[in-house]
A and B are shown apart, each in its own frame.
Chain A
């Protein structure tokens, strides 16, 4: 007997920091965000896949994508819908800006409470712009839920208990955790399925209200079509909508402060340049041996 599950996937739109080109840094040494494409955080896609598999295994289950960011982060919800999610929520408000991990977790936790009766909250282990891995456990703590981090596969859910295989340093572990719980998924988990063509057609013009620019073609289509297709208007929540305490959000809710940010400059050394000739290579080896640098 399987009971339907209500699953919330935490997902973040991030700048693609994996392939940072020369134009990604300004001459002053700050990051030129505009030069980096905004993508679906990779491990959040692994999490979405686990959620969609659970939905298939437990008929009647629902998957919703929860993201926080500027209006354009509505793209994350669309990407989720294209792959099989049922719904999504964009948390967007100037009051959320400047949040560290704790203030972010507070905002996400209040939204999850608002969504209500969630069985599983699942997200990527960490986002590639911060690499902190802190938001998952902090959301769990704020909701008073158990957490399983570094998950590689949800093996089964039976009698309201999830059995999960997780990565640990130098090995693997299998754990049992009662629902509801928070799970963070490691990049070694199964990759996410591609977008489904039918779903892309269905949700192509889905937008959050703040995203809609009636001067753009997409915005015009959304304004026109959403009158008869309410699912094209995505949920958009402000601090007030989730009954959040503004003092715990954004910059004012962040215990950590950035003191300075510096460009990385490595101390250049005076180097000896050699060629690949036998004489040069042998000379180097002899020098290293003579100076007992190698034994």
Chain B
């Protein structure tokens, strides 16, 4: 009762990274609250294949539902599993990835349980809340912190009276780490038919096609990102060259993606990928809040911009005032000359 739950997403027998990131966050929240971290996974043929990808992140108890029709994911069976499991377990918090699956499942579950859900949180904390209207005081609520209004403001949301407090978080926002402490690591395999009604399997997946990611932008230590100031798709070619010599990856602002300069899977920002590289080179990026939200935790930020007053320069460690056409080839040239 009252534990922290994380819904684990899988593709076949591969556990999604975002789920592991949430386990690490969930572990911290559980420690802070003095409760256990539980995980729930549902799939087909997962028994014996997913446990090792889940338990090391500090899981006290894993509920693994293995049965036909649970992969590929469809809404109703997974909803039934969570709703019925949560009725038994009464968790206080449930976290899931802000992925296509999490954003399909989370609202359905929250509506079934009449509990609050906050999408795309960027921070999760524990804290107190005083309701000014009812004068009631609440201890240890989950602060669900998220940008709103296109990233121009950040709101802290709480669910005072309804459980579980549900939140989704995008991939890359939290960081995963193998748990150093001692967790119970118990695994149970509940009987699926006790949780899912036969009518739940009504949606049929005729064709399911997933390609391996073409790049590792999220995990790359060096990111070269381009904005609208790159001017064209061809303009991005030099960023790919710079990224190649630096062994980094190319990212883009939303303005550049919207203009068709770059594929949208490389978009960095609140509505794209969140990155935490060692070095972030922003080329022709003005620095809208929604972009900065996805890269502000980079260790070193270098901004290349012809406008000395570009907003991104305020958070940069180095500002090179100049056009990208002039500066980027020089970065390539002098890196080649000076590196061994």
Contacts and interface: CB of A to CB of B under 8 A. Distances in A.
B317 A271 contact: yes
B320 A267 contact: no
Contact of B202 (A100, A168, A177, A272): A177
Contact of B148 (A130, A133, A275): A130
B234 interface: no
Given A129-B149, A264-B289, A285 B338 contact: yes
A280 interface: yes
B114 interface: yes
Contact of B117 (A101, A177, A271, A294): A101
Given A100-B116, A256-B117, A149 B103 contact: yes
Contact of A295 (B108, B120, B247): B247
A271 B287 CA distance: 15
Interface stretch (B33-41, B62-70, B159-167): B159-167
A266 B300 contact: no
Interface in B305-340: 308, 313-323, 326-327, 330-331, 334-335, 337-339
A141 B318 contact: no
A266 B303 CA distance: 16
Interface residues of A, number: 78
Contact of B205 (A141, A175, A276): A175
Interface stretch (A25-33, A190-198, A201-209, A210-218): A25-33
A256 B163 CA distance: 11
Given A131-B271, A171-B208, A275 B116 contact: no
B116 A102 contact: yes
A261 B154 contact: yes
B124 interface: no
A262 interface: yes
Interface in B43-60: none
A168 B210 contact: yes
A15 B228 CA distance: 23
A31 B289 contact: no
A263 B120 CA distance: 18
A169 B202 contact: no
Contact of A137 (B104, B120, B131, B246): B104
Given A133-B119, A266-B296, A276-B321, A257 B157 contact: yes
B75 interface: yes
Interface residues of B, number: 92
A220 interface: no
B145 to A, nearest CB: 9
Given A141-B108, A273-B319, A264 B151 contact: yes
Contacts of A284: 302, 318, 320
Given A256-B118, A276-B327, A294 B152 contact: no
B129 interface: yes
B3 interface: no
Interface string A97-108: 000111001000
A41 interface: no
Contacts of A286: 334, 338
Contacts of B72: 173
Contact of B279 (A133, A258, A273, A294): A294
A263 B151 CA distance: 10
B150 interface: yes
Contacts of B154: 261-264
Contacts of A293: 278-279, 299-300
A259 B143 contact: yes
B192 to A, nearest CB: 19
A1 B303 CA distance: 61
Given A105-B107, A169-B100, A285-B334, 14 more contacts: A17-B150, A105-B111, A133-B119, A134-B106, A176-B206, A178-B202, A258-B156, A259-B143, A266-B296, A273-B318, A274-B321, A284-B318, A286-B338, A294-B335
Interface of B: 72, 74-76, 79, 99-101, 103-108, 110-112, 114-120, 129, 131, 143-144, 147-162, 202-213, 222, 246-247, 271, 278-279, 289, 292-293, 296, 299-303, 308, 313-323, 326-327, 330-331, 334-335, 337-339
19 contacts: A24-B152, A105-B107, A130-B119, A134-B107, A135-B107, A138-B111, A167-B100, A168-B210, A170-B210, A170-B213, A172-B209, A177-B204, A178-B202, A255-B116, A256-B118, A263-B153, A264-B293, A271-B314, A286-B334
